Amino acid sequence: MSQRLDYLDNLRWFLVLNVVGYHATLAYMSLGSYQWPIPDDESHVIFDGLARLGDIFSMPSLFFIAGYFLVPSLKRSTNIWIFIKKKILRLCIPFILGIVFLTPINSYVEEISKTGYGQGYLSFLVNQYYPGRMTADHLWYLMFLFALTVLFSIAVSLTMIKRRKSSDKKDLQGNGAVNTTPPLRILMLFFITTVMAYFISSGVYIDNQWLKIGQEGIIRIQLSRTPLYFLYFGFGIYASVKNLDFSASITKSGDLGMVIVTTMVVIGMWIFSLFFYKTPLLIENSYIRFFNAAFHCATILCMLWLLLSIFSKKYNYTNRFTKLMNENSYSIYLVHMPIVIVCQYAMSQLEISALLKYSVVVLLALTLSLVISHFFLRQIPGLRRVL
């Protein structure tokens, strides 16, 4: 089992590194920086494409992998309440520690960058951040993942109990055989479901609109994309239960066909975004909103399936490097944002190209995040159990 899942572990840390790269692009977009904390006069159109792509597929893919691992994790636990207790330690404790010690760094550097705030960090914490400006920032993922995990784990546990009571001898995770990929009609049905869900939700809530609960967003929910995260988490559970074989091709041309299809979808999404993304038409015109939903959901599914296919065939192994990255991927995600923000602020003081700034920020953020995780955080006995 563990060998079969090595590629998912590898894909997970790859996606975490992609999130770091995505956050690094946001200061250098030519079409606007998503109200990013660090404004920079240097920009390049390439970062609009990279940011849009990273923004679309990274988080649904991480939710898919989390869903895939849910059933095996449940089966290793004595009961569901012990499982949930472990998830509280794994997700909620880092979340609390993060909004106390990590995200205030983001807010402080933003205040310096945008308003020229001249007070010290401790003064900012005591007088501004803790009294009324606490925010989860990128740590929203932890609480949302916790909510989905609890919800789906209860549903899966009830299903397991029901099967045992009905004397069903088949295990919830199948008969142990590796199946082929689902029929194309299953993927199309899932794709259509995601398109309709996102089409409806993006009509009710503006894309990238956040529901912020408590101060400046101690709890943050990305309303328009919540249905997609829910569906991909559930799809991960389905893939795990059915033992899907992602190395089996769903196109006659194999991975080459998937590369061609994915490339066409991504290019289409990018061209569409250049004309319509963040314009009133995306909200007011139902046809444009539908095409946006179709490109958005097609990009997620194609990118995820292509990566699953490639990683299952090429990277289904573990070595010292992959083990290092897998062990540290979670804490890299936790600590990377303040490092990215600080590095972007430092780079904003220099008159060099956006491409060079981005390269330096990514290199420093990845290196420092790994160093802090491996040589500091994971050496603390209490934290090591959580991380």
pLDDT at residue 177 greater than cutoff 60:
no
Q: Cα angle vertex 360, ends 354, 363, to 5°?
A: 135
| Mean per-residue pLDDT, 223-231 | 96
47 neighbors 130 (Cβ within 8 angstroms): no
- For tokens 């590095």, the residue is 343
- For tokens 């249905």, the residue is 227
The structure tokens listed for 279 are 């314009």
| 209 CB burial (10 A radius; 0-12, 13-18, 19+) | middle
pLDDT digits 0-9 by tens, 229-245: 999 999 999 999 988 88
205 neighbors 224 (Cβ within 8 angstroms): yes
Confidence of residue 159 (pLDDT cuts 50, 70, 90): confident
74 neighbors 153 (Cβ within 8 angstroms): yes
Dist. CA 354–CA 341, nearest whole Å: 15
Dist. CA 371–CA 348, nearest whole Å: 24
Ordered by start, the domain boundaries in the chain are: 6-386
| Helix, coil or strand: residue 212 | strand
Q: What pLDDT was estimated at residue 1? A: 38
Phi, psi of 112 (to 5 degrees): -65, -45
Dist. CA 24–CA 54, nearest whole Å: 11
Q: CA separation (Å) from 352 to 43, 128, 243, 363? A: 11, 33, 50, 16
| Helix, coil or strand: residue 220 | strand
218 neighbors 44 (Cβ within 8 angstroms): no
pLDDT at residue 175 greater than cutoff 50:
no
Q: What pLDDT was estimated at residue 361? A: 97
- Range with the lowest mean pLDDT among 20-24, 28-32, 205-209, 296-300? 28-32
Residue type, 383: L
pLDDT digits 0-9 by tens, 111-157: 999 888 889 999 999 999 999 999 999 999 999 999 999 999 999 88
